[in-house]
A and B are shown apart, each in its own frame.
Chain A
Amino acid sequence: MGLATYGTRHAQALVGSLGRLARSPFATFLTVLVIGLALALPLALQMLVGNASRATGGLASAVDVSVYFKPAAPLEKVRELAADARARAGVAEVTVISADDALKEFQKYSGFGAALQALEQNPLPNVLHVRPAADAMTPADLDRLVRYFAAWPQVDTVQVDAAWVQRLNAILAVLERVLLIAAVLLGVGVLAVVGNTVRLEIHQRRAEIEVVKLVGGSNAFVRRPFLYTGVLYGLAGALIAWGVVGAALAVLEGSVETLARLYGSGFTLAGPPAEEVVGLLGGGAALGWVGAWLSATRHLRRIEPRG
């Protein structure tokens, strides 16, 4: 068979499959809707994980070291030591928070402003916030850094703020696992939906299949239109999933922006990036193809012409 003829026969099978789906629009819509909703859930979870990672930004990888000075340590000395620390390898950023600044900030956000004014002297110490370099966050690196600061006689306490980062990373890891499990389970669901739909179609077209086999149609030839049907179901389901997630995004966008603004953040929800959309469409089509192939291969083998 020539390439042009081969291509034309495939195009005919594709158009035939499209025609059959269009002839029963309600049944097709219901099937596509089920597939779409099944694909929308992992896509929405992926979007949630993506946005959560983006919202926490560098925080997920940031480990802060807080260096609390003794009350007697003067601010000038603290600034001097901060300059020394900045020059040290493995230190990305050092921020000096003076006791006065800390008190002002505390008064502003804690709600105890009036009570704090009653104090005779500032109870808060001068503090350094040290952010280690990205390549110096191993437990050994952090331990060296802690010992470096703790060796200064002006320093009272050195605290590594890593626990919340570990929790955040753990939460994101759990979400990613949930996403993976949901994607696998719902993917199997899509295979089952497409497979069952193709099985029913094969059953309906049994007489036609018998005739095609009688005139020499191979299983591969008979299977072809069903594979296109599966691909079309998967692709249409993926488009529905994209639409559903897009609609959910549009509904949530304003509320999330308002919430972020209240926390002083300019964070906005982002939809699935182009590569995820391509993956969704490709994945949907592939699931449809596999579901149709499994079902068609199994059921077509049993259909042979009657005499």
Chain B
Amino acid sequence: MIAFDHVVKRYPNGREALAGVSFSIAAGEMVFLTGRSGAGKSTVLKLIALIERPTRGAVRVEGKNLGALRSRHIPAYRRSIGVVFQDHRLLVDRPVFDNVALPLVVAGFPLKETDKRVRAALDQVGLLGKERTLPLELSAGEQQRVGIARAVVSKPRLLICDEPTGNLDRDLALEVMRLLKRFQSVGVTVVVATHDLRLAQQPGERTILLDDGRIQGRGEEEPLPSIVASR
């Protein structure tokens, strides 16, 4: 599904965020990217969402080399994935329904289908009945769930989440993780970037530890806390 092949990302200010990173993620997998702030987690997600392009190396999603994708094809690619951000990125002057419907409106879905899918997505995240509510009238956890509903409403095969629990307390964070796990269980590939090691160590899920733009561990050989402790 996703393959990073010796990917280097250097920003215009000279900072090297990724220094030759290689890994792959299979379809239907749930993978956690973890590491401290500035380790390169968000850069990995930006490359997958085509917000950035690699300086060197190749990023492939479903066989497509994203670095070579023409600008005019980027919107169509972005419509095929779902993105969840820590700060939700909701349109605060639009009700929940409009926020969740946005990817469908952009993709030109018929009105009836849009209505049906939005209600289904809100039902999945437990917010059915809040369609007319403005985002700022919701709690942080509810806002994050609106963000998740927006990311999954168009039924993407790939869901990427950047610190989706960053602003939430432990209970809400676990609730969001359970929600993401539910999407993975129906075949969606889920990539979650989080600095929270405890959250990243979900039973049966793979974790990639990044530090200073390099992969320091994949959580397959030994538990991550010991990798971190040994450094």
Contact = CB atoms under 8 A, between A and B. Distances in A.
A216 B89 contact: no
Contacts, number: 63
A6 B89 CA distance: 26
B57 to A, nearest CB: 18
B102 A211 contact: yes
A305 B89 CA distance: 10
Interface string B16-50: 00000000000000000000000000110110010
A221 B43 contact: no
B186 interface: no
11 contacts: A1-B108, A5-B109, A8-B111, A213-B75, A215-B83, A215-B103, A216-B75, A306-B51, A307-B42, A307-B46, A307-B49
Nearest to A218: B75
B111 A305 contact: no
A216 B76 contact: yes
A215 B150 contact: yes
A299 B79 CA distance: 22
B106 A215 contact: yes
B102 to A, nearest CB: 5
A217 interface: yes
B105 interface: yes
Chain B CB within 10 A, most for which of A5, A208, A215, A217: A215
Given A5-B109, A214-B89, A307-B45, 7 more contacts: A12-B105, A208-B91, A212-B102, A215-B79, A216-B103, A307-B43, A307-B49
A217 B75 contact: yes
B199 interface: no
A5 B111 contact: yes
B106 A217 contact: yes
Nearest to A211: B89
Contact of B107 (A12, A211, A216, A307): A216
Interface string B104-128: 0111111100000000000000000
A304 interface: yes
Nearest to A220: B75
B175 interface: no
Given A221-B106, A305-B51, A306-B51, A215 B78 contact: yes
Interface string B53-72: 00000000000000000001
Interface string A122-137: 0000000000000000
Interface string A1-25: 1101110110010000000000000
B91 to A, nearest CB: 6
B52 interface: yes
B211 interface: no
Given A214-B78, A216-B75, A305-B49, A6 B108 contact: yes
A4 B112 CA distance: 12
Nearest to A214: B83
Contact of A9 (B77, B89, B105): B105
A2 B106 contact: no
Contact of B108 (A5, A208, A306, A307): A5
A221 B104 CA distance: 12
Contacts of A217: 75, 106
Contacts of A207: 89
A255 B119 CA distance: 67
Nearest to A307: B46
Contacts of B106: 212, 215-218, 221
Interface string A198-216: 0000000001101111111
